[in-house]
Amino acid sequence: MSEIKLFEIENVVKERTASAVLLEKQLQNMIEHNMETFFGVRFLKSEYAITSGRMDSIGIDENNSPVIFEYKRSTSENVINQGLFYLDWLLDHKADFKLLVIEKLGMDIADQIDWTVPCVICIANDFTKYDVHAVNQMQRNIKLVKYRKYGDDLLSFEHLNTPVAKPVTDVSVASTSTSYTQKTHLEKLASASNHFKTLYTALCDYIESLGDDLVANQLKLYLAYKKVQNIFCIEIYNKQILLRLKLDPDTVNLEEGFTKDTRGTGHYGTGDLQVSIKTEEDFQKAKELIDRAYNEIV
């Protein structure tokens, strides 16, 4: 795989030499202690024991999707197949994961677990082109991340693939009071009018044109675009498209019927600023806020 070159340019230009972390346990501990900063994932447990193995690290992301971390300790270790096995185990033991979330984060988060696209993040100091090709063929949410350590104070993560995963099919959300089943995001999109389908496609195309560092994540009830963490979340309804952005509402001149501060209110997706898009004019006005969110969030 290609190598990133890192240089100091403050006084005399010189190259920082890359090396692997000496002990894989050091890397695991560092990631577990800073998981939300590095990957936007809340840490749940280290060395999570199951009936036929032990997951290195496990967490839950801001979309409340389970995330498994596996660290490659040698060039011969098949961490991808191992991660795939753990992913399938987790899908067969959802109740065990829910108990862990209840213990660590409480019932409110546990009730919101989204099993649409659970993820495996494989971390190693190198992968081959065959590894990348293999995970791209699997259509599972498996991410390959290559790390490099530069001296004592710098650590880099290079994301080598953008998985296109098939969502888990059992995604209905039952109401607590009736047998009513809430429509998924894709079902709402399929039943939307041609007007809103056109607006939705234009919105997604515009967001995706901002940069290759944005990754689409199709969740049960909304579509998210993220770098490390979500920047945009999109919901579609019969009469509007709701776009949530990670922007401080205090920095925006709120407009009745168009923009709204949703801090402290319950809603799907993440982001404190809500934008309601009903017309082409709304979409054009929203572009300035979309550009701001993309450029201001690392």
pLDDT band at 172 (very low <50, low <70, confident <90, very high): very low
What distance in Å separates the CA atoms of residue 70 and residue 126, rounded to the nearest whole number?
Answer: 13
Domain count along the chain: 2
Q: Is the pLDDT of residue 197 over 90?
A: yes
Q: Is the pLDDT of residue 189 over 60?
A: yes
Query: Are 104 and 234 part of one and the same domain?
Result: no
Does residue 164 belong to any structural domain of this protein?
A: no
Burial-class residue 3 by CB neighbours within 10 Å (0-12, 13-18, 19+).
Answer: exposed
Query: Are 15 and 102 part of one and the same domain?
Result: yes
Which segment of 54-63, 171-180, 256-265 scores lowest on mean pLDDT? 171-180
The amino acid at 36: E
Q: What is the pLDDT of residue 177?
A: 38
* pLDDT, tens only, 153-162: 888 898 888 8
Q: Is the pLDDT of residue 28 over 60?
A: yes
Place of tokens 């199709």: 218
Q: Is the pLDDT of residue 83 over 80?
A: yes
pTM: 0.77
**Contacts (Cβ under 8 Å, ≥6 apart) of 29:** none
DSSP 146-213: EEEEETTTEEEEEE-----PPPPS---EE-SSSS-EEPPHHHHHHHS-HHHHHHHHHHHHHHHTT-TT
Angle at 44 between CA 297 and CA 76, to 5 degrees: 90
What single-letter DSSP state applies at residue 81? H
pLDDT band at 265 (very low <50, low <70, confident <90, very high): confident
What average pLDDT does this structure show over 77-93? 88
Does residue 166 belong to any structural domain of this protein?
A: no
| DSSP bridge pairs for 23 | none
In this structure, what CATH number is given to the domain that contains residue 225? 3.90.1150
What single-letter DSSP state applies at residue 17? P
Short-list 92, 98, 94, 90, CA closest to 70? 90
Domain span including residue 282:
173-296
Query: Are 145 and 178 part of one and the same domain?
Result: no
Query: Are 19 and 108 part of one and the same domain?
Result: yes
In this structure, what CATH number is given to the domain that contains residue 71? 3.40.1350.10
